[in-house]
């Protein structure tokens, strides 16, 4: 959870989309939060998705640390 995942829909080695990993399912698929994605009503918005790891081009872990004020 917390990783940034980059997707390559067509496997052409180009990034097509990005999401934030919320977790994984027991079958290994990723649960993601994604913006600019088509909702069931046909509009674009933010949605929770379940994605196959076969679509993943790269996963990056941001350098999370303690917040300083």
Please tell me the predicted confidence (pLDDT) of residue 40: 82
Q: What is the pLDDT of residue 69?
A: 65
Check whether 67 has a pLDDT greater than 80: no
Query: If you average pLDDT over residues 43-51, what whole number do you get?
Result: 93
At residue 50, φ and ψ (nearest 5 deg) are -115, 120
Which residue in 63, 46, 54 sits closest to 4, CA to CA? 63
Q: What is the pLDDT of residues 5-45, one digit of tens each?
A: 999 999 999 999 999 999 999 999 999 999 998 888 888 99
């Amino acid at each position: 959870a917390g990783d940034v995942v980059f997707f390559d829909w067509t496997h052409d080695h180009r990034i097509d989309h990005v999401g934030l990993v919320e977790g994984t399912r027991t079958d290994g698929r990723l649960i993601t939060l994604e913006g600019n994605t088509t909702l069931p009503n046909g509009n674009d918005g933010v949605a929770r998705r379940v994605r196959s790891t076969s679509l993943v081009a790269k996963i990056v872990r941001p350098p999370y640390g303690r917040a300083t004020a």
